[in-house]
Structure 1
Amino acid sequence: MSRLPVSVIVTASGSADDFRACLDSLRPTLGVRDEVLCVVPADRTDLHGILRGNPWLRVLHDDSGDQVRRWEAGLAATRHPIVVLLDGDVLVSAHWLDPLAQALDDPEVVAVGPRCHHTYGPQNAELPDEAMERVATFNAYARQWRQENSGRFSTVDALGPVCVAVRRDALDRAGGPTSDLPYERLREQGRIVVAHGALVAHVVTDLCSLLLPDVPDGAPLLSASLIVKDEEEVLAACLTALRDFVDEIVVYDTGSTDRTREIAREHGARVIEGYWNDHFADARNRSLAHCTGQWAFVVDADEIVTGDAASVRAQLAAATRPTFLVGVESEGAFGTSADGRLMSVRIFRRNRARYFRRLHEQVVDRVFGEYLISSQTLNDLTLVHSGYTLLRITGKDKAARNLRLAELSTDDVDSAESKLINLARSQLWAGQTAEAIENCRKGLAENPANLLERIAFLTTLAACYEQESRYDEVRSVLRDLREVSSSPFAADEIEARVCFAEQDFAGALALIQDFPDGEMNDSLFVVTRSRVAEIEIRSLYSLGRHDEAAQQLRESVRDGKLPLSVAMMAEVLRAGGTGIAEVAALLPESGLRTLLLSTASEPDGLVDELLDALWQRYTGSAAVLAGAARIGG
């Protein structure tokens, strides 16, 4: 089958063996009219000898040390209207160019890429270990792959940097190559496509030419990166708290209609007026592209950073690893603060990482696409997240938004299990429990190899049954969960809630009494006694152990935790001999915001009593005044 001739620009990369294997796999796949140009870094003398005696390619030496300059040099030396940019530590398979040329037969297509092992984005293809044992096993696997995926094409927003075919004139109009290639400007000119029938394999090595150099020591140490839309209520507090921790704040606005952009500028942030394409990872990456720091700190507008700024900066300055876990404490649906602590990769070296996935986006290696899971925690730093309070959930309509994005993601090129668990969780949150149950069962029937995904399906399925009061089925799921989880406490917490719902208060307390104080489970949640404080206090209260219930509540409040609604706290404290005013006396000032948020749907008389007590303790407090103004209109 004849096809368009192409110019292949190979940027020499990887070890000498990797580069030789790339050229050996490439040569038999070329047509008589194709041309190949290799751009070799001046300092890679180990690769120079491999290129001698190869008349089928031309060699260009480059001493810029910059991947974009290498691509530019190659483009200037080639002549065909279709150019393939190929990293030099890639194995290509037979006929890999044919599907790319087939896609470009459509004049609306401006760029196309093959599926690729170890890359970022929609091209990524996870290959089994046995397929990568030898060149012969890869070729056999690729042959079967080609037969199963022949003729399949998907339109996508962007491709990765490892291997892409692009129309030269479209690339010129887009301003030429960039480190990630200018996919946004290419997309303005036509469609970007993945050709599923073509398969290549990228070798993971520190010698990959696509790896960005370290950010210079003279650059800012830490950049805060935010994506926002209509966040005028919370953004000022977020940015004020950030000021001492970071050197710059980049706020990427996705279309606010309120004062969000003005507030950001008033707080010294650099505001980027961007857009929203129903894709969280894309928006995160666009924000990161405007940061200049050595490290990036990703924060949401409804998060408040707390901790020791000097200690955090000292840890970053001395760090040898590229990522850090940060503790995120979420305020609960009623303004309570006992929902637990999730450890999340929020700080990472800017040149090493990016985000992937439309919903519940994850940090991945910016070239190889592998998830960057950190084992080290950045001490003295916590984010307090108010995004799941009742007020925020209702006002931002997050359940409907997440369900829509989860449904859109089913067409994305990603792990089928990952997409299904995100959809099931979103359906559960939106009240579509029957649909969520069906998808959890479907996901489990596929027997996912990823243990964390299996645990996610089981915990979501248990939550679905719990929501429908199908407690026997909850316990059946918990038996399976205990078999695969390395920590018993996820199952114990769910079972404790079931016991409480069935009014087996003694059974609930028996499960809770062995809860640890600070153990991280499989899902990176830090399991603490405070996560089950509501069940413990309400079980004690229901058993008539009122003094114990009140004492447990007092200890939580002293720690800044609010495990119950305001009305329930008042009931427990009255039974213990006091009343809601004691909350004002015990609560540290750091917990004021959480408490005031929780009063939105409480009885007016009770809230008045609480506000009076808070005003007596914190006379002149702007937070108390703001809370009173919210309640009183």
Structure 2
Amino acid sequence: MSHIPVSVIIAAGGNPDDFHACLESLRPTLGMRDEVVCVLPADRPELRAELRGQSWLSVVETGEPDPGRRWAVGLEATRHPIVVLVDGDVVLSAYWLDPVVESFADPAVVAAGPRCQHSYGPQQADLPDSALTSAAAFKAYAREWRHEHREEFSDVDRLGPVCVAIRRDALAIAGGPTADLPYERLAVQGRLVVAQAALVAHVGSPRCGLRPDVPEPPGEPLLSASLIVKDEEDVLGRSLDAVRELVDEIVVYDTGSGDRTVEIARAHDALVVEGFWSDHFGDARNRSLEHCRGRWVLWIDADEVFTGNAKAVRDALRHAERDAFFATIDNQEGHEGGAGTSTIYYPRMFRRSHARIYGRLHEQVVDRITGRALNGSLLPDLVLDHSGYTRLRGLVKNKAQRNLRLAKLAAEDISGLTAVGNLARSQLGSGHIEECIETSERGLAQAREHTHHVLFLKILADAYLTVGRLAEANETIERLRGIANTPFTVGEHEVKLRFAEGDYERTLELIEELPESGANDLLYGVGKGRFAGLHIDALSRLDRHREAAFQLRQALRDGRVPVPVARMAQVLGAADGSLAEVAELLPREALRGLLFSIAEAPPEAADELLEALWRRYPGEPTVLTLAARVGRQVPLIRAMEWSARLRQHGFPAQCTLLALSADERRTPRERTLAAAIALEMFHDEAALPLLHEALSSVPDAESEAVLHEMRILAPQVSANIELADA
């Protein structure tokens, strides 16, 4: 072979047949001056038997179970500047080493690797089953692959541990090899590259030999909660309260909060790590995992609340044989027309030693070595209530634009349809519909797996529905119907289509055909609850007002808020009801679910509902929090009442009069009177600069009228102003 000399270190592992296939495939790819060291586990005599007569390599034995230490033993026994680390149960294709080593002709490259079936990160290659029936079949497939990708090299943000070449001096500067290999520290020294023409695979067992069978230490805690956060003071406390009985420790990795997030986390006895944000959710979550001590980890977000059975979950973990469990995640959505709840099933609980988080956006739990999604089963008692998809919270966190930016970066990081799908979803969520349609069509053209076809057709159907291109939406839904394994996959889109067409009777029929709970082809939950808003609206448009009000009342009793506050007023009013019913029907524990809906409501409706809630729950902090949010929008007299209540209950900083007087959207008259009243009634000196600023904005033609009102509402303040002007 023509490449510069390298040191190849083989970590012997797996079963003897796979190890034999690895050695047989490696030898013909080596150069004359390459050196090869095999690191052999001391307790694997059956692997040593495969090394008889292999004079072209040397052997070192170690009792070290940790992959990082095994690589280090191999490094000590080699000398070339470029070291190649190879898992001992992969099959290597012809000439795979040449393009990998060729990458180092650029002195800026510090690490390079081939594409690899069953490897973590951008190296991962999805190969057809036909290519993995035997070593010969794989090599034939790899020959075609090599010709197709000749001279292709890609810069990436990380490589996997299965097969990689690294500059020895760069690895030393990075602190030496680790189980995952220190790519973050390598990346600051230079480029990481994938040689696209090179291909390796696990042709035999899908289990990688790099993972040692080490029993979990009995002294470790059972379960850690891991969160990454930034500016989550409005939701974090509730999330931590809910998970306290479930977990043994809470690790909060803060990525740069400017509010009280860190203070709240510490008050809940969490281990707080003040970290950084690198536009990569997966990396941030992995940095949080580094501080967890539990045998199991629950990944949870600050806007998620555990609502399951803590004892049942912990009992399941103590007897678990699997590496992961799926959680039921109930998403509160929208408050646009038709919004309700949706459910997804996602692996959120996993063995810490076996997993990592992968993905810049819409991250996944994967095997820490092979990069494959962890297998798991649904744990019914592991339930999370997620408010992150509500419309206002999305606006507050600027999620749509953030996700679009990260999805674009992710598509640059890695190839593959997962990144393309995330980009299409982010384009849809941020309103870039034409780009979403183009990306979805590109994904469909490349799709080979059933789930990818379903994913892109579903995104495409929603995109057409969003812009009212109903004929194209209908055509896409029919394409989806032709490949779907369950009718629920199609039904959820058809409900929205028939409603958009004005066929409200058919809309109701389709909603009735949906299950109370079920799963579509992508394992997303599908049920009637997601379309509670459309159900109510369809009944209203058919003038079935009492039925619509009945459905709304039932949803409220169940703790759900399916339509906006203004729409509630219309639906209840048409059935001789009022918003005051909401306060009576909605359970106290569901009050927080109104936060975003009330904040979006017209001021009059918001104030009416808040007043009813106050009468039902006087002194309730959640109601006061809502009032503080919307108080600046209500009429002046109502702002006075809410200010008095807030101050009476210990929230002077949230005074609605001060908020109103600082709000430039209100008239100079309103701002002036609000500040004057705050000064008169509460002697709050914080109102003084606000009063002076507002007064200076009052037009001369209105100044006498404003002063007249001030004499009535704030006589002492008015007298002082007039005395100062005299």
Alignment TM-score, normalising by the size of structure 2: 0.84
User: CA RMSD for the aligned pairs?
Assistant: 1.9
Question: Match of 2:365?
Answer: 363
C-alpha distance in 1, partners of 2:374/2:88?
Answer: 24
C-alpha distance in 2, partners of 1:401/1:439?
Answer: 18
C-alpha distance in 1, partners of 2:27/2:566?
Answer: 75
1:1-400 pair list within 5 angstroms = 2-203=2-203, 204-206=205-207, 208-211=209-212, 213-334=214-335, 338-374=340-376, 376-400=377-401
Question: Match of 2:469?
Answer: 470
Question: Match of 1:443?
Answer: 443
Q: What do residues 196-217 of structure 1 show as CA deviations (whole Å, max 9, x unaligned)?
A: 1221113444461335634323
Shift of 1:433: 1.2
Q: Is the 8 A contact 1:86 1:162 kept in 2?
A: yes
Question: Match of 1:579?
Answer: 578
Shift of 1:381: 2.8
Q: Is the 8 A contact 1:120 1:369 kept in 2?
A: yes
Where 1:537 maps in the other structure, the secondary structure is helix
Matched, 1:561 2:563: no
Where 2:4 maps in the other structure, the secondary structure is coil
Q: Is the 8 A contact 1:215 1:293 kept in 2?
A: no
Q: Is the 8 A contact 2:492 2:526 kept in 1?
A: no
Shift of 1:548: 1.3
- One-letter amino acid of the counterpart of residue 429, structure 1: G
Shift of 1:94: 2.0
Where 2:413 maps in the other structure, the secondary structure is coil
C-alpha distance in 2, partners of 1:324/1:578?
Answer: 45
C-alpha distance in 1, partners of 2:589/2:371?
Answer: 39
C-alpha distance in 2, partners of 1:496/1:216?
Answer: 52
Q: Is the 8 A contact 2:157 2:413 kept in 1?
A: no
Shift of 1:283: 2.1
Shift of 1:84: 1.1
C-alpha distance in 2, partners of 1:116/1:393?
Answer: 37
Q: Is the 8 A contact 1:330 1:337 kept in 2?
A: no
Between 1 and 2, higher relative CO (CA 8 Å, sep ≥ 6) is seen in 1
C-alpha distance in 2, partners of 1:352/1:181?
Answer: 15
C-alpha distance in 2, partners of 1:441/1:32?
Answer: 49
Q: What do residues 306-340 of structure 1 show as CA deviations (whole Å, max 9, x unaligned)?
A: 22211211111122211111111122223998222
Q: Is the 8 A contact 1:337 1:594 kept in 2?
A: no
Shift of 1:16: 0.7
Cα 1:205–1:529 shift into 2, 3 Å: closer
C-alpha distance in 1, partners of 2:176/2:408?
Answer: 35
C-alpha distance in 2, partners of 1:554/1:607?
Answer: 18
Q: Deviating runs (4+, > 6 A) in structure 1?
A: none
- One-letter amino acid of the counterpart of residue 365, structure 2: V
Q: Is the 8 A contact 1:62 1:70 kept in 2?
A: yes
Q: Is the 8 A contact 2:327 2:345 kept in 1?
A: yes
Shift of 1:65: 2.3
Shift of 1:256: 2.7
C-alpha distance in 2, partners of 1:207/1:339?
Answer: 40
Question: Match of 2:596?
Answer: 597
C-alpha distance in 1, partners of 2:386/2:99?
Answer: 46
The alignment of Structure 1 onto Structure 2 pairs a total of residues equal to: 630
Shift of 1:133: 2.2
Identity value in percent: 53
Q: Is the 8 A contact 1:114 1:195 kept in 2?
A: yes
Which shifted more, 252-261 or 193-202?
Answer: 252-261
Where 1:238 maps in the other structure, the secondary structure is helix
C-alpha distance in 2, partners of 1:212/1:265?
Answer: 36
Shift of 1:380: 2.4
> Which runs of 5 or more structure 2 residues have no equivalent in the other structure?
632-655, 657-726
Alignment TM-score, normalising by the size of structure 1: 0.95
Q: Where is the helix percentage greater, Structure 1 or Structure 2? A: 2
Q: Is the 8 A contact 1:325 1:343 kept in 2?
A: yes
Cα 1:395–1:9 shift into 2, 3 Å: same
C-alpha distance in 1, partners of 2:384/2:514?
Answer: 24
Question: Match of 2:642?
Answer: none
Matched, 1:482 2:481: yes
- One-letter amino acid of the counterpart of residue 370, structure 2: F
- One-letter amino acid of the counterpart of residue 123, structure 1: Q
